[in-house]
Structure 1
Amino acid sequence: MRRTLLAVAVLAAVGPAVADDAPHTLNIAPQSVNDALKVLAAETHLQIFSDGEALKGKTTAGLNGVYTAREALQQLLVGTGLSYRFTAENAVAVKAAENGSDATTTMPAVKVVGRYRFDPNSPDNPGYARTNSATASKTDTPIMQTPMSIKVVPKTVLDDQQAVVFDDAVTRNVSGVQRNFEFGDLYQGFIVRGFSLGANIYRDGLRQHAGYFEPAGMERIEVLKGAAAMLYGRTQPGGLVNYVTKKPRDEAHYSLQQQFGSFDMYRTTVDATGPVNEDKSLLYRLNVAYLSQNSFRDYNENERIYVAPSLTWRISDRTEATIQLEHQHDDYVMDFGIPALGNRPAPLPKGFYVGDEQLRLSSMDSNQIATNLSHRFNDHWKIEHKFNWHQWDHQFNSIFPAGSLNGDNRTINRALTTGPTDRETFATSLDLAGEFETYGLRHKLLIGGDYFHLKTNTYDNHWTYGAIPALDVFEPNNHLIDMNAVNAIPYDFWWKEKDEWYGVYAQDQITLWDKVHFLIGGRYDILSYGTGCCAATSQISDHEDNRLNPRFGIVYQPWQWLSVYGNYVESIGSNNGLTPTNANNKPELGEQYEAGLKTEFFDGRFTSNLAYYHLTKENMLTGVPGLPYRIPIGAARSQGVELDLTGEITDYLSMVGTYAYADARVTKDNGFAPWGLASKQGKRLPNVPEHSGSLWLTYHSDEHLKVGAGMFAQGKRAGDNDNTYDLPGFVRLDAMVSYSWNLSRSKLTTQFNVNNLLDKEYYRGSRASDRTGALPGEPISFIGSVRVDY
């Protein structure tokens, strides 16, 4: 048979090697291989020579997405029985595969990396949807087979929205989540399904305590709805927020970004990763961020330094160890918001500041060491050990409101807090996970244990009332403080806190007929906790509780795209605190019933979760106005419906959509009239709107231009525990545009975001225990960015 080499394309212009050139947006329909190669050659300027006889009768499934020339060629030849070999930098020969041919002539294993054909859970996936999560089960389980509500916010969404603040990334993209505004906005916290999570944020599945968390080191954020105590110990019944850190990678990548925005905001980030040695057994990553900004709030500013190096050692093909270091320093101003007047926040300028210019700048230093050691015995069994040490030091310098507005409705009394607080946590876990079959049932078994220890020491502090002049809120004078008089005040406040537990747990995920998935688990905790206040000689009086927390769930998956699920879970909470009689509170207890539907379309590129939940909480605590105490008010119930939609609607249109209906109320009030607390029975839980939702859309017809817009809305919310005033509802509009250029092996991206496009006045949240402060939302603001990746 005569064999003829047919040139199906010629190079249109001389250029650099195209086999690994910049990516191209390609849309090649299913057709004959011969015709498809012609299209590929025309689009990529790749010279393709082929054996005409070998191509006869061969067809390809085509492709649609962003590929380099080599990747596109691999994808087009999948399943055709053809191989290729590069004969020059920009020329390739395609012919029939031969048995025993060497690696240079046989097509290598295909790894599809087009925009819409990525591994959906790869860090490189530019889409919004993720199909797997380990947060809900501590095993890498498809979300469709997990009987819990879990929402993943990937780095792509954070980048598109330029989410430089961690809590914005969560509240804008996850249904049923609000910002928790505590004393002076001291730390980042959330309200999930009506209940505050306190200061507890999880990092790679291990609990931290208090702080502000820098998004530059985050790969994605995962929010688990509902009680998670079976796996994570003392957690609040609403759920938990866990962020997954960036890890070292075996392919070199470098990124430098400069952001600039309203209120003199400047932020620089660096992300560098790659192999240290040739065999790629040693990998590194370095994330750095620097932030400097003022604010629309008077006398408010922030400066941050963040450095996070990490190293991974591939000890063998089955054993891997990673160590991560992290240091973060923040200089910032504690913000107590705007006091209430009548049934609304007082009609004051957005910039109103209750403090004083002489005593306003606080600081935080956070240091972490985290390790992860894993060993895979075989393809079915794995053991993993995690450890995290977190030290958080805070230096208070602030004036705060000492109660609500006075009877004249224009002056407010003030107090001061100064001095250090040191917090230290240790968290560790050991998990053994394996897969096996018994009598036709597939099992995914998890057996593990963990330990957590928190120690807080507030010492040599001022918590002083009466020494600070009252402030006229309508004509504020923020220059009344005499620092010599402040420094002469004797120390009068000390606080100690301890929280410790040991937990063991077991969980089995059972699959029957490939359609029914059961989750059965239980955990036993030994808890020790205590608080001491308020003299230097105060000692912690230890208290101990033991608790068994079960969890049951079921998923029925009649088709691959649909799952029907339900769960029942119990939890033991993490809030204790001290009563005015120096008694320690019992832990809060939670119980949840949930049912819902999940869908997954377009090969996992578009997902949804619709859930109904009924959640109760006993031994619920509330703060005492003007004092650092917490007392149990009884019980509360939250029930509602949540909807999350995430992914690619078309090849060019991506979206994140959320909606939540929440009915969250106090159902039982023990009554504490001696401390001036009115009955709260039937009251709505603060900062929880009945209706809330968001929508974010981006359109990207090619790899260069992307435009996006979205809205974020919340209904009217109770401003405090007693429901004496409300935060008004609002709708905020945002928008973005970005453009990228491919420069040899580099990529330059410019981006511009506008937040609160219509300059809507709104409030992010309020302090729940009293009427002293509602935190205004940011007015119209801009963020620009220039980023280079190579």
Structure 2
Amino acid sequence: MNRIYILFSLVACMVLGTAANAQTGSIEGSIQTADQQPAAFAKVKLVNSAFGAATDETGHFKFDRVQPGTYALVVSYLGSEQSQEVTVSARNTSQVNITLTQTERQLQEVVISTNVNTYNPFQSSKSLRVVTPLMELPQNVQIVNQSVLQDQQVLNMLEGVQRNVSGAQKLEHWDNYARINIRGTQATPFRNGMNVQLSSWSPLTEDMAMVEQIEFVKGPAGFMLANGQPGGMYNVVTKKPSGVNRGSAALTVGSFDTYRAEVDLDGVLTQNGKLRYRLNVAGQLAGSHRDFEYNNRYVFAPVLQYLIDDNTKLTVEYTDQQVETSMIGGNYAFSARGYGDLPVNFTTSEANLDPTTMREQNVLVQFEHHLNDNWTVHAQAGYLHYEQEGQSLWPWGIAAENDSMMQRGISIWDALGFSQNGQAWVNGQIETGPITHRIMGGIDGNFRDYFADWNQGAALGGAFNIYNPVYGTIPTSEVPQWDREQDIRERGVRYTQGSTGLYVQDELGFLDNKLRVTLAGRYTQNHYLNPYSGNATDDKFTPRVGLSFSYAEDAAVYALYDQVFLANTGLDWAGNNFDPVTGTNIELGVKQQFFDGAWMASLSAYQIIKQNVLTADLEHADPTTGQFVFSRTNGEQRVQGIELDVRGEIFENFELIFNYAYTDAQVTEDAFPELVGTDVPGASKHIQNTWVNYQIASGALKGLRASVGYTFLGDRSTWAAFDDTEAGLPDYFRLDGAIGYQHGKFSVGLNVNNLLDEFLYSGAPSWGMYYWQTEPGRNYRLRIGYTF
């Protein structure tokens, strides 16, 4: 039925396209500095149109399907702006080659007096595969770039990145990974277009020193990037060489004995500019608002890029992230009485417990070749190695006769993981009569092997009074020690997963590309082997249909239909495999640019239905423990909502990020009728974020900026199972502010988070008690930077 529907849509669209007879032209060109250096990643905007993009590494850009007429082409590069008039005629390509009036070094020294369009990117990275501008893409995609990350002083993925995207919500963490939920499900983590999730507690959260931007894609984005959760995914894009000789260094100090240094070096290694490099190094020591808690990290990220010729380049990237953190699990509070009845700095940890160490090494090789002006071939391969040695804390229980007393438990937590990814795809553009085609097709595969040892555990000391805690009573000699003589491959539990996918997409353009119809299909095969999941393979063909119509030069409406397909790992009580999660996604939206693309607003409505969702099996208890630990696949969830995103320069030098999401996530089918209609865990009904930034562009206070932002979450459900018998979480409001100043090469910024010093936390019920994690009270960061 689906294939018939796609065929019918294709025939109807071709008939419509035959009626299109208007003609358009193109603009192609290059930008260079006065000393003939390529202006890499310069912003190019066609005034009074929706066309805007960034030049590539060679300073090249191209706009297709431009209406005939005379335009002003504006180039923004390193704080400098320059414009040139260009005339477009039908069926012709207008060549524009602009040489800026300043050299690259002079441009580096320009005082940036305005942040034009820094919060509103025009285009996603190449690692998302699509070359369609965000305005024309029939999907909700939001990008958080360097300008935003620096203004908010975000140091890693755990620190409020989600506030910049509608409906994104950070859930619990173990100091090593970030769990972000979108549209009622965990967002699948990607890095440079590759799935890097080894387990439920991965990947190691990215340090922002190596990050260029973070792309949030809503809905079953797995069509292009291998299967992921239906709510969406986020793609971390790491920094690459720009071909411009430049660098920066920064020092940060802050609350809780936070000290950080970072260096970013970017440039060319040969006179002909063909061999380029990028090197990011950062080190950090950081304490916490909880006693005995710290997180020290180091990142080393070199990149080499070689331009083989004008059409071909090879990029090799290595990333080494190392973290030493205090006892995992000590950042949770527990009580049988309810949430939030312990101090903000409460911990179950001790000063003499060994730390947990984590190291992630990642090698990425990328190849890109332009066959001609219309066709480009990409290939990339990645290898990720993760190792962890440490332990975790979790209570064995709270005494029924005295709910002040807890028995703390401690267990080993060692892990070893490997991930291999290989991808190849092609982007192209052709015309068949009046119809244009943006074609994308490719193949991807990944294999993940993960070993974990939780199998050694013991009590930590005697009874512990959570309302009157006394620390330091357990001698180091009495702290349990773990047997690590065997390799973790022998003593640990093994989880193996992999998938292979083939996909093809054609975006057909009609009426001079004002109407765009996307027809696509993907075949995915999942395979997995582990003691808890058995040995199984499942596969599915999933179609994708999109529609986008530009009813004005700077406005478009869109519709999208695609399907959900996701592996359901595990075994039921009888040892049988689960069927995969399936379902559908429908999304409608509108996008509008204002003031020549200075800011953009998007509004979307969606509905996701998932079948074969795992639910608790309350008919079969574990014969050993008597606990109900098994699951069954007879659940269905419906997640629907509305999302609004506004970002960009609303007024001159006044930038805004505003977003709101209404999310209605409910269980619609379950083996137990009383659970139907309950909330899906980890989905707040109302999420609203605002961040405003203003910078003075002239006068005695030139370079001074001020920012303020807040996050509100209302009708919060808990992290874990929620059946309406447990109280939900209270509403959440956090207010942050910042001031900064830039003069020449120097900059300074002071950020103060939780200005109102609110008691903020999130949590869930668990085995007869409540557990939660607090955020720090009012705290600050001071950053001093220098560019060269």
Bin of the TM-score, shorter chain as denominator length: 0.7 to 0.9
Q: CA deviation at 1:574?
A: 4.7
Aligned-pair identity in percent equals 26
8 Å CA contact retained: 1:321, 1:372: yes
Task: Give the aligned residue type for 2:746.
Answer: L
Task: Give the aligned residue type for 1:267.
Answer: R
The aligned counterpart of 1:621 is 614
The aligned counterpart of 1:167 is 158
Distance (whole Å) between structure 1 residues aligned to residue 222 and residue 773 of structure 2: 31
Task: Give the aligned residue type for 1:337.
Answer: Y
Distance (whole Å) between structure 1 residues aligned to residue 428 and residue 240 of structure 2: 24
Specify the SS of the correspondent of 2:377: strand
Q: 1:575 to 1:157 in 2, by over 3 A?
A: farther
Task: Give the aligned residue type for 1:528.
Answer: H
Q: CA deviation at 1:403?
A: 4.7
Partner deviation per Cα, 1:394-419 (whole Å, 9 max, x = no partner): 11322212356745332333322214
Distance (whole Å) between structure 1 residues aligned to residue 669 and residue 279 of structure 2: 51
Show the 5 A alignment for 1:130-169: 130-134=121-125, 138-169=129-160
Q: CA deviation at 1:353?
A: 0.9
The aligned counterpart of 2:605 is 612
Show the 5 A alignment for 1:64-75: 75=83
8 Å CA contact retained: 2:680, 2:717: yes
The aligned counterpart of 1:516 is 515
Specify the SS of the correspondent of 2:150: helix
The aligned counterpart of 1:444 is 438
Q: CA deviation at 1:389?
A: 0.8
Partner deviation per Cα, 1:461-512 (whole Å, 9 max, x = no partner): 4443657534321112344546555546778973110111111110111111
Q: CA deviation at 1:732?
A: 1.1
The aligned counterpart of 1:729 is 731
1:216 to 203, 209, 219: 209
8 Å CA contact retained: 2:139, 2:560: yes
1:241 to 234, 246, 251: 234
- Aligned: 1:642 with 2:643: yes
Q: CA deviation at 1:701?
A: 2.3
- Aligned: 1:708 with 2:707: yes
- Aligned: 1:193 with 2:191: no
2:452 to 458, 461, 468: 458
TM-score, length-scaled by structure 2: 0.80
Partner deviation per Cα, 1:96-153 (whole Å, 9 max, x = no partner): xxxxxxxxxx98478999xxxxxxxxxx976100121257961221111111110011
Specify the SS of the correspondent of 1:159: helix
What root-mean-square deviation, in Å, do the aligned CA atoms of Structure 1 and Structure 2 show?
3.3
8 Å CA contact retained: 1:274, 1:284: yes
Q: 1:304 to 1:253 in 2, by over 3 A?
A: same
Q: 1:282 to 1:292 in 2, by over 3 A?
A: same
Distance (whole Å) between structure 2 residues aligned to residue 737 and residue 325 of structure 1: 35
Partner deviation per Cα, 1:217-269 (whole Å, 9 max, x = no partner): 11111100111222222200000010111101111111000011001111111
Q: 1:328 to 1:193 in 2, by over 3 A?
A: same
Q: CA deviation at 1:369?
A: 0.2
Q: CA deviation at 1:579?
A: 5.0
Q: 1:366 to 1:136 in 2, by over 3 A?
A: closer
The aligned counterpart of 2:318 is 325
TM-score, length-scaled by structure 1: 0.80
Distance (whole Å) between structure 2 residues aligned to residue 112 and residue 143 of structure 1: 32
Q: 1:481 to 1:584 in 2, by over 3 A?
A: farther
Task: Give the aligned residue type for 2:423.
Answer: S
Distance (whole Å) between structure 1 residues aligned to residue 451 and residue 585 of structure 2: 34
Task: Give the aligned residue type for 2:527.
Answer: S
2:375 to 375, 381, 392: 381
8 Å CA contact retained: 1:356, 1:480: no
The aligned counterpart of 1:762 is 760
Task: Give the aligned residue type for 2:492.
Answer: W
The aligned counterpart of 1:207 is 195
The aligned counterpart of 1:337 is 332
8 Å CA contact retained: 2:534, 2:570: no
Distance (whole Å) between structure 2 residues aligned to residue 760 and residue 477 of structure 1: 26
Partner deviation per Cα, 1:312-369 (whole Å, 9 max, x = no partner): 0000000001000010110113235222544x41410011112333335211110000
Task: Give the aligned residue type for 2:735.
Answer: L
Q: 1:274 to 1:131 in 2, by over 3 A?
A: same
- Aligned: 1:128 with 2:119: yes
8 Å CA contact retained: 2:456, 2:482: no
The aligned counterpart of 2:493 is 495
Distance (whole Å) between structure 1 residues aligned to residue 561 and residue 293 of structure 2: 45
8 Å CA contact retained: 1:730, 1:760: no
Q: 1:136 to 1:454 in 2, by over 3 A?
A: closer
**Larger deviation: 205-214 or 368-377?**
205-214
Q: CA deviation at 1:770?
A: 7.6
Specify the SS of the correspondent of 2:560: strand
Specify the SS of the correspondent of 1:608: strand
Q: CA deviation at 1:165?
A: 2.7
Larger Rg: 1
Specify the SS of the correspondent of 2:159: helix
Show the 5 A alignment for 1:284-433: 284-333=277-326, 334-335=328-329, 336-342=331-337, 344-359=338-353, 361-403=355-397, 406=400, 408-433=402-427
Distance (whole Å) between structure 2 residues aligned to residue 588 and residue 61 of structure 1: 51
Task: Give the aligned residue type for 1:531.
Answer: N
8 Å CA contact retained: 1:687, 1:766: no
Distance (whole Å) between structure 1 residues aligned to residue 474 and residue 491 of structure 2: 20
Distance (whole Å) between structure 1 residues aligned to residue 131 and residue 77 of structure 2: 27
Distance (whole Å) between structure 1 residues aligned to residue 304 and residue 648 of structure 2: 32
8 Å CA contact retained: 1:276, 1:282: yes
Distance (whole Å) between structure 2 residues aligned to residue 236 and residue 257 of structure 1: 37
The aligned counterpart of 1:267 is 260
Distance (whole Å) between structure 1 residues aligned to residue 103 and residue 116 of structure 2: 11
Show the 5 A alignment for 1:447-596: 447-459=441-453, 461-464=454-457, 469-481=462-474, 484=477, 487=480, 494-513=492-511, 514-532=513-531, 541-574=534-567, 576-578=569-571, 583-596=576-589
Task: Give the aligned residue type for 2:436.
Answer: R
Q: 1:403 to 1:664 in 2, by over 3 A?
A: farther
Distance (whole Å) between structure 1 residues aligned to residue 399 and residue 729 of structure 2: 17
Specify the SS of the correspondent of 1:345: coil
Task: Give the aligned residue type for 2:190.
Answer: Y
The aligned counterpart of 1:699 is 694
Q: CA deviation at 1:180?
A: 2.7
Distance (whole Å) between structure 2 residues aligned to residue 207 and residue 439 of structure 1: 39
Q: CA deviation at 1:601?
A: 1.5
Distance (whole Å) between structure 2 residues aligned to residue 630 and residue 658 of structure 1: 39
Q: CA deviation at 1:642?
A: 0.7
Partner deviation per Cα, 1:728-763 (whole Å, 9 max, x = no partner): 112211111111111xxxx10011111111111111
Distance (whole Å) between structure 2 residues aligned to residue 300 and residue 232 of structure 1: 37
Task: Give the aligned residue type for 1:689.
Answer: S
Distance (whole Å) between structure 2 residues aligned to residue 136 and residue 285 of structure 1: 18
Distance (whole Å) between structure 2 residues aligned to residue 321 and residue 67 of structure 1: 26
The aligned counterpart of 2:679 is 684
Give 5+ residue unaligned stretches, structure 2: 1-33, 38-46, 48-70, 88-96, 105-114, 485-489
8 Å CA contact retained: 2:35, 2:103: no
Q: 1:261 to 1:583 in 2, by over 3 A?
A: farther
Q: 1:543 to 1:652 in 2, by over 3 A?
A: same
Distance (whole Å) between structure 1 residues aligned to residue 223 and residue 85 of structure 2: 45
- What is the count of residue pairs matched by the alignment? 676
Task: Give the aligned residue type for 2:671.
Answer: N
8 Å CA contact retained: 2:360, 2:384: yes
1:750 to 748, 751, 764: 748
**Larger deviation: 764-773 or 273-282?**
764-773
